[in-house]
Amino acid sequence: MKSPPNIDLLRSVRAFVEKHHMFERGYKVIAAVSGGPDSMALLHVLARLRPVMGLEIVVAHLDHGLRDDSARDADFTRDACQALAISTVIQRTDVRTWSRQRGVSIEEAGREARYAFFEDVRKSVNGDVIATGHHMDDEIETVFLRMFRGTSPKGLRGIARVRDRVVRPLLCATRQDIMTFLESEKIRFRVDPTNLQDNTDRNFVRNRLIPVIKERFPDFGEPMRRSMDILRHEERVLDQLAAEFAHEAVSRTGGGLSIAGEKVRSGNEAVAARLIMKALHEIGGPEARWQRSHVVAILQLIQSGNPSGRIHLPAGVTAWRQYDALLLDRTAAVIEGIPVLTVSGPGTVAVPSADMTLGFSVRPKSEVRPEDLDGRSLVVFDADQVNFPFTVRGPMPGDRFRPWGFDGTRKLKKVLIDAKIPLRVRNRVPLVIRGATIVWIPHLRRSDDAPVTETTEFVVKMEIVP
């Protein structure tokens, strides 16, 4: 006879799935399985629910290539799925290269690579949803991490039960529930030794911080979950208010959105901020990562007295004032002769109005020859300080630049005058921007930002391509 925890877990998961409408009878579910305990529990729970819910399961396993023995995890996962008569899609990727090219941490690069792979698998097999093995303890760790990095009430409500096509059936279970299930069912799993190290923020929270909190507050998880439930309910109310506000203040204009400035200024700032964040997600697409600072910058633009101010945002999005309207658009806007171009990763970018092609790449410092660095046609920056994405655009009123070897910044207009750039062609001088900082003026000079030092390992190389 099966032990009660097994029955309880299966019943809990099925009730949780039905409550949150994660999947229905006949769905094709892509199960994200790494071979670790959480994902193996997910695999076996879905396998048990397969006949009663008429599910079709396809397992997706991504080998991150971060450990010498990572291929054994793939073999283990394949064998486990064969025993359950479940098809498997396995792929290997170089997460370290992904990290360098995108200028993100290894942890973030792994997350991005996983979800991109899962979505590719879902599309290739015409799947309905992607199921991951996140559980209650993961949710608590995530809330702590978001608190430490700064977050909104939305971030404090925990991990989304359903987000687009991603579902998380085990969020009704604790890590102990899962381990009890695996032990009683004699289900084998792999242990990733890197999870025992404290070199990532999540591992530090899991291995060091939470055990200390449990010593003082052994049952802290339950009141935290109650607080997250309250926040989820209140978030739904705020989302509804923002949706009603958007109906009054937002309209479609071509391929972008127009937000009525007067209504934003006279409305509730918290609701307006939520409205802007929603608009950014709609315009920027699913891969854009928006922060509170972007929303604040847009609110300041709406509240400013400048009727034609502009902000260049990630994912190629431009926000600009047009009298009392705030326009959000992903189309390349033209500013004084130079199209605004976003450089999201290594490659070349043609700037026709400047009769120039710029190349961008990430290289080991050892490949850089000092004699090649003239600052005019080729420059390098410390990749840990300056990395993708970049923007290429023309000069704008108020631009300032910090030239190499100078203290402080200078007006860009004065820099161009000193360089004897004729007035009639200054509007076609391309600028390479990171965030709000001009890092390079091709054919002229580089900025004083992110110099290459003895500790530099990788550089971002920019050059004028012949």
DSSP track, 101-116? HHT--HHHHHHHHHHH
Tell me what pLDDT residue 103 has.
Answer: 76
Tens of pLDDT, residues 139-160 = 999 999 988 887 778 888 889 9
Grade residue 180 by pLDDT with cuts at 50, 70 and 90.
very high
- Checking if the pLDDT of 195 tops 80, the result is no
Tell me what pLDDT residue 337 has.
Answer: 61
Q: Which domains can be identified in the chain, with CATH numbers? A: 4-218 (3.40.50.620), 238-331 (3.30.465.60), 338-464 (3.50.40.10)
Alpha-carbon distance 263 to 246, whole Å?
10
Alpha-carbon distance 326 to 178, whole Å?
49
Grade residue 5 by pLDDT with cuts at 50, 70 and 90.
very low
Which of the 8 DSSP states describes residue 377?
Answer: S
Tens of pLDDT, residues 408-445 = 899 998 999 888 886 657 888 999 999 889 999 999 99
**How many Cα atoms within 13 Å fall on the side-chain side of residue 26?**
0
- Checking if the pLDDT of 338 tops 60, the result is yes
Tell me what pLDDT residue 74 has.
Answer: 92
The SS3 call for residue 420 is coil
Alpha-carbon distance 433 to 440, whole Å?
7
- Which distant-in-sequence residues (6+ apart) come within 8 Å of 215 by Cβ? none
- Checking if the pLDDT of 2 tops 50, the result is no
**Average pLDDT of the segment spanning 94-98:** 85
Tell me what pLDDT residue 315 has.
Answer: 75
Tens of pLDDT, residues 280-337 = 888 877 566 788 888 888 888 888 877 767 788 877 788 888 778 888 887 544 444 6
Tens of pLDDT, residues 244-293 = 888 888 888 767 888 888 888 888 888 888 888 888 888 877 566 788 88
**Average pLDDT of the segment spanning 60-87:** 90
Amino acid at 264: V
Cβ atoms 84, 55 nearer than 8 A = no
* Mean pLDDT (the chain, rounded): 87
Tell me what pLDDT residue 7 has.
Answer: 53
Strand 390-393 with 318-322, pairing: unpaired
Cβ atoms 342, 389 nearer than 8 A = yes
Cβ atoms 118, 32 nearer than 8 A = yes
Strand 347-351 with 356-364, pairing: antiparallel
pTM summary value: 0.62
Q: Which two tokens stand for residue 188?
A: 């084998």
Report the percentage of the chain scoring pLDDT > 90.
47
Tell me what pLDDT residue 286 has.
Answer: 59
Which of the 8 DSSP states describes residue 97?
Answer: H
* Residue located via tokens 């289900």: 187
Tens of pLDDT, residues 202-225 = 889 999 999 999 999 999 989 999
Alpha-carbon distance 228 to 369, whole Å?
54
Tell me what pLDDT residue 254 has.
Answer: 66
Tens of pLDDT, residues 24-44 = 899 999 999 999 999 999 999
Grade residue 459 by pLDDT with cuts at 50, 70 and 90.
very high
